Amino acid sequence: MAGAGAEDLVQWLEAKVAEQTVEWRETFDAMPAAVLILDEERLVKRANAAAARLFHRSPQALEGISFATLVPSQFNQFGEPSPPGNPRSGGYTLAAPWPDGQWHLLNLNSVADGRRFLWMAQDISQEKRSEISALNRKQELSILFDLAELLNHAIHKHALLQQALNYLLPRLADLWGGKVERRGGVFLLDAAAGILHLAVNVGLPVEFVTAEAKIPLGHCLCGIAAAKRRVMTVSGTRRAQAKGYPACICESPGDYAQSIIPLLGEKTVEGVLFLYFRAGHRFNAEEKDFLSSLGRLLGMAVYNSRLREELKLRASQDELTGLKNRNEFQRLLEEEVKRALRYKRPLSLLMLDIDHFKRVNDTYGHPQGDLVLRTIGEALRESRRASDIAARYGGEEFTVLLPEVGLKAGVRAAERLRRTVGERPVHLTKETITVTVSVGVSTLGGPVSDAASLVEAADKMLYVAKASGRNRVEATGPFKSEGSTAV
């Protein structure tokens, strides 16, 4: 067949197939390309097994069918449409929706002798999909790598999430094209309350953001994704509701596809990331795997940020009372003294000591004494202003720093606190008791010119209060305590 023209090739192949020998029929069917031999009316005369697979019909069922009814007339950028009912001569590539509902990418060759056509098609859809998948995978890995680098430089949880969302949305739009809407957000989980709280967002309506969005765990798609710890996807919110999924608080007007990705930490769910896509988009397995990877990366970043915050809090907090510990108080005291001196603002300090606390420990035991300390801590937290700094200074001693408060107002604050503690019952295991406190007050100014002298002056006044009968307030000035000397 060397040097054969188109007419010779068509006639030769048709003649060989027409011989109906087993050998040639097997050879024809074994050809990897789909082959159709068409007569002058463009009707199929012969079809091999590959053509049968491409058109989802048996070779016998294809015979006699018009070529125009088999090959789609809508081609995309991979090829130009042929004249209706005629295969295009020469080699070319086209992509078109096929009867199976999928788009197929075909390498085509056809030859003709004027009356008959030989049409051959090699389906390269899977190869192209694999090529695109590999390219997408490379882009996905690039996104994950760049996101990990970004997250490494973020410290605070909310800043971390806002930066991540601002980075992700345009990158996902580049990766998946028009499928992605550039809006979404993150809910963080309050595990103790079982509530998801909106933390950050991009592109959400103002009325949604200002509504203090909260979702109970297990409610709506976001709550379900968090509870089940798996990616939830819907191709359309209206369709999802028709199937029985509850409406989400993160839904906005219109129909769209959604993906809700749980943020997984170390054996924890930290929250969910929710993204919007074009309505009708169906998420394939590779997309879901990538979204899961995003959730794990973001989840671990949130988890690590939360651990850092907890460790910082523990380093600055007294474990028993929940107040600031002595080291943290000393740091804050230095800052407040510098600020007060720089701007010439008043600053007062209260030092409290529980009266006869040793007697409580000796009578009821140290665990019951801890209950007393916790009760004093609660009283201080509830009585202070937001700007006041309360701390457990050591043992049964407590301090309260009062910015913008002079000596007279400081004494009044100390008296209120003394009365509050004395009136608060302490519920021990077997009985309820009350305790009292003695308070020393000092104010920055005059000889009290730095943090050390402010503490020293308050401590001296506390000693005076103790020596004067306890359950009273003493200050570095002519202020008489309203306290009783009763023990």
Q: Are 117 and 87 in contact (CB under 8 A)?
A: yes
pLDDT value at position 2? 43
pLDDT in tens, 211-237: 547 888 888 888 889 999 999 888 776
pLDDT value at position 376? 94
* CA-CA-CA-CA torsion sign (407, 411, 416, 421): positive
Residue 478 makes CB contacts below 8 A (sequence gap 6+) with none
Confidence label for 76 from pLDDT (cuts 50, 70 and 90): very low
Question: What are residue 97's DSSP bridge partners?
Answer: 103
* C-beta neighbour count of 335 within 10 angstroms: 11
Whole-angstrom Cα distance, residue 349 to residue 384?
A: 13
| Burial zone of 477 (CB within 10 Å; 0-12 exposed, 13-18 middle, 19+ buried) | middle
Q: Could you tell me the domains of the chain?
A: 6-123 (3.30.450.20), 129-314 (3.30.450.40), 326-475 (3.30.70.270)
pLDDT in tens, 14-24: 666 566 566 77
Q: Are 62 and 51 in contact (CB under 8 A)?
A: yes
* Region of poorest pLDDT, from 123-127, 225-229, 366-370: 123-127
Tokens of residue 69, six digits = 């009814």
Q: Measure CA 40 to chain center.
A: 63
Tokens of residue 197, six digits = 């709280």
Residue 367 makes CB contacts below 8 A (sequence gap 6+) with none
Question: What is the average per-residue pLDDT within 388-400?
Answer: 95
* C-beta neighbour count of 197 within 10 angstroms: 15
Residue 150 makes CB contacts below 8 A (sequence gap 6+) with 163, 164, 167
pLDDT value at position 213? 73
pLDDT value at position 3? 45
Of 350 and 177, the one with more pLDDT? 350
Tokens of residue 156, six digits = 């605070």
pLDDT value at position 389? 96
Question: What is the average per-residue pLDDT within 117-137?
Answer: 72
CA dihedral 309, 310, 312, 314 (to 10 degrees): 160
Residue 410 makes CB contacts below 8 A (sequence gap 6+) with 348, 349, 350, 402, 441, 443, 475
Residue type, 111: V
- Select from 81, 117, 140, 435 the least CA-distant residue to 290: 140
The answer on pLDDT for 396 being more than 90 is yes
Backbone φ and ψ of 54, nearest 5°: -65, -40
As annotated, the active-site residues are: 396
- What distance, in Å, lies between the first and last C-alpha atoms of the chain? 121
Largest CA distance in the chain: 126
Q: Are 61 and 90 in contact (CB under 8 A)?
A: no
DSSP annotation of 179: G
Rounded to two decimals, the pTM is 0.56
Question: What is the average per-residue pLDDT within 24-35?
Answer: 79
pLDDT value at position 6? 46
Question: What are residue 103's DSSP bridge partners?
Answer: 97
Mean of per-residue pLDDT scores for the chain: 81
Whole-angstrom Cα distance, residue 230 to residue 211?
A: 27
pLDDT in tens, 291-339: 999 999 999 988 888 888 888 878 889 989 999 999 999 999 999 999 9
Whole-angstrom Cα distance, residue 284 to residue 258?
A: 13
Backbone φ and ψ of 50, nearest 5°: -65, -35
| Burial zone of 326 (CB within 10 Å; 0-12 exposed, 13-18 middle, 19+ buried) | middle
Whole-angstrom Cα distance, residue 472 to residue 466?
A: 8
pLDDT value at position 8? 59
pLDDT value at position 332? 95
pLDDT value at position 418? 95
Tokens of residue 179, six digits = 């499928």
Whole-angstrom Cα distance, residue 176 to residue 160?
A: 24
Of 82 and 164, the one with more pLDDT? 164
- Tokens 């940020």 belong to 305
Whole-angstrom Cα distance, residue 468 to residue 119?
A: 112
Q: Are 471 and 437 in contact (CB under 8 A)?
A: yes
Ranges assigned E (strand) in 161-239:
180-190, 195-202, 214-216, 232-234
